[in-house]
Structure 1
Amino acid sequence: MTSYKLNNQNLSRFEGEVSIPKYNRNNVKTGIVHVGIGGFHRSHEAFYTDQLLHDESNADWGICGVALLDFDAKIYNTLKEQDGLYTLVVKELDGTLTKRVIGSIVEVLYAPEDPKKVIEKMASQM
């Protein structure tokens, strides 16, 4: 079995193994700036936003995730390398596990690296 890195270029290679976004991520624009891109955000807001993005009329609601603390550097670097994509595993009511790639995070910024860019991104979304 060949191993591929999860990113925009390889996304279609994962189809059949996991559920992948069916919307065109190139058409998704940032409409949400979320400070903190930890597990809680990714398993809730980003998950629900991903579901909404399957309706083309919601294409203006992609997420720009902002990593704020030095501790957040690892998830920032991971999401940056993966073009904001990540896999979420959901435990269903019957106990089965459903794996799906979430594509709603379309930008990631690291505040300690460029605080001015983060402020400008937040101001541009108002």
Structure 2
Amino acid sequence: LDALPGQLFQGRVSSIAAQGVKEENIVTYEVAISIEDANPALKPMLTANIDIVTQKLEDVLTIPLEVLRVEKGDDMVDVLVHGEPQPRKVRVAFRTDTQAVVTKGLQEHDRVVKPTFKKDSPHAS
């Protein structure tokens, strides 16, 4: 809200428009939010550009999706061990468009590398 810069509000999404409006290659959706413990300065029908946080994760280990692969239904990464990539099974709790949150199989200082496919690998072209 331009009228209340820096203010954070908690609320629940009560409705989302079924169709967005495209303007200059950006699609926006009208969303109605019921604010909890509303500030008296908030008035009905105000408009705002907002970020909706659906989940906040702190102190988690993340890796780029490009280093993650699936083998026989398991999430796998290649970790450098003595300078050589070694496959390792990991447990992924959450994915974004670019990152994966790993909850098992890696430690903070492990060096993960992009997977390489050997010629005799079923993934090779």
Q: TM-score range by the shorter chain?
A: under 0.3
- Structure holding more strand per residue: 2
Tell me which structure has the larger Cα radius of gyration.
2
Bigger relative contact order, structure 1 or 2 (CA pairs below 8 A, ≥6 apart) = 1
